Amino acid sequence: MTTLTLITGGSRSGKSAFAQQMAERIDAPRLFLATCPHIDPEMDGRILRHQRDRQGKGWQTIEEPLRLADVLRCRPADEIVLLDCLTLWIGNLMHAAEQQGREMSEDQIATFAEELCCAAYERRQGRVILVSNEVGLGIVPDNPASRHFRDLTGRCNQVVAAAADEVFLVCCGIPMQLK
């Protein structure tokens, strides 16, 4: 039986480390589903640090910026999946839409999030852990694109949280279970 877990928190809150520790406590094959694009040397350094944190701990990594539900559907059913992170996925979806001359709507992101949750529950038996930033606790962004990103992320997080079996908020490295 699948357990879907959402872990959210602010930037550098410790959510990824908490998610990794949660996954590593389970004796099963592990998949790290990475959504982060290689966009500049600083981001490449962040990616490398995450890879080193998983090194020698039984992780397989797949980098997929857009088609997360498709990846989940074709993976072994008993595999523990750690998807890090939904926030970057949303940025990737926004960029892909922009490249096609359109804008991602809240309804579209909700549909993508629902599809992802359905794929997590379909024929899977292991835990699926989704990591996302909580971007709605700060000031209102000063430009339309940033406000739109914040709104899409908030909508995605709500859809995933509603579908999830467990939801954790990580603050200052301390996880708090909300659901």
- CA 49 to chain CA centroid, Å, is 17
Query: What are the CA-CA distances from residue 43 to residues 8, 13, 50, 170 (Å)?
Result: 20, 18, 11, 22
CB 128 within 8 A of CB 145: no
- Specify whether 38 is catalytic: no
Rg from Cα positions in the chain: 15
Alpha-carbon distance of 82 to 4, in angstroms, equals: 10
Question: Which positions are annotated as active-site residues?
Answer: 50
